[in-house]
């Protein structure tokens, strides 16, 4: 990224610890003079198991992965001036809480928790001038989902969506950028679906192929 002329700084560590969150916030202040914007992208489904197979620790670890890093980074940034000029936060959520995919029971529960957290923190921080929103991507053309779209370049996956094409990473980035910007200065506590309209189909993931 630096080779492309971008001003970036990297921080080594595991983001699921408060120490790492503090380190990220400190590095941002040192490199750029302050913190105005946060995008919380950490999350995942480490245990793709149904309700009768997932263990207590696996469920709780999944909830922690999809909630605690975001909360820790917001708190660390607030201590270091996020609210001084009216900051903006976007949490990356998912459409999973509205689906009934058996193997995603832990992931769906954790993203539902993140959604509730987003609204609650948005209400808490609104008086301080900080906006907190979420973006919920659907199936996105990335290296992680290559097995789903690579064979036909995403034609089948895209045609199964109301909008008729597979969601690209830039589609998600565009929604995030808008919510971070002053154009969204009156928007807080919302969750924007970026999924080609798949959320309109109700429970269950749309079949592909």
d(CA 168, CA 171): 5
Answer whether 100's CB lies under 8 Å from 206's CB.
Answer: no
CATH assignment of the domain containing 148 = 3.40.50.720
For residue 136, being part of any structural domain is answered with: yes
Q: Is residue 174 part of a domain?
A: yes
Pairing of strands 37-40, 131-137: unpaired
Of 73, 84, 91, nearest in space to 27 by CA: 73
107 is catalytic: yes
Task: Give the whole-angstrom CA distance, residue 24 versus residue 14.
Answer: 11
What is the domain count for the chain? 1
Query: Would residue 111 count as lying in a domain?
Result: yes
In a domain, 209, yes or no: no
The token pair at 117 is 């957290």
Full residue range of the structural domain in which residue 171 is found: 36-197
Give a yes or no: residue 10 inside a domain. Answer: no
CA distance 14 to 12: 7
Q: Which of 70, 107, 141, 167 is catalytic?
A: 107
Let me know if residue 202 belongs to a domain: no
* Residue 131, H or E segment: strand 131-137
The DSSP call for residue 120 is H
- pLDDT tens string, the chain, 209 residues long: the values are 999 999 999 998 888 888 999 999 999 999 999 999 999 999 999 999 999 999 999 999 999 999 999 999 999 999 999 999 899 999 999 999 998 999 999 999 999 999 999 999 999 999 999 999 999 999 899 998 899 898 999 899 898 898 889 999 999 999 999 999 999 999 999 999 999 998 887 654 444 43
* Residues pairing with 194 in the sheet: 137
- The answer to whether residue 169 sits within a structural domain is yes
């Amino acid at each position: 990224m630096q080779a492309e002329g971008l001003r970036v700084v990297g921080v080594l560590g595991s983001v699921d610890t408060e120490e790492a969150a503090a380190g990220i916030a400190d590095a941002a202040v040192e490199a750029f003079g302050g913190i105005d914007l946060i995008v919380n992208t950490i999350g995942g489904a480490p245990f793709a198991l149904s309700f009768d197979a997932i263990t207590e620790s696996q469920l709780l670890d999944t909830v922690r992965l999809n909630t605690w890093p975001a909360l820790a980074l917001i708190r660390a940034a607030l201590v270091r001036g996020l609210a001084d000029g009216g900051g903006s936060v976007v949490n990356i959520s998912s459409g999973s809480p509205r689906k009934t995919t058996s193997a995603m029971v832990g992931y769906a529960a954790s993203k539902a928790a993140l959604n509730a957290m987003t609204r609650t923190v948005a209400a808490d921080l609104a008086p301080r001038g900080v906006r907190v929103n979420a973006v919920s991507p659907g199936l996105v053309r990335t290296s992680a989902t290559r097995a789903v779209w690579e064979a036909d370049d995403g034609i089948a996956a895209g045609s199964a969506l109301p909008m008729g094409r597979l969601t690209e990473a830039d589609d998600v980035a565009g929604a995030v950028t808008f919510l971070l910007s002053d154009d969204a200065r009156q928007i807080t506590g919302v969750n924007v679906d970026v999924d080609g309209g798949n959320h309109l189909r109700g429970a269950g993931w749309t079949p592909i192929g």
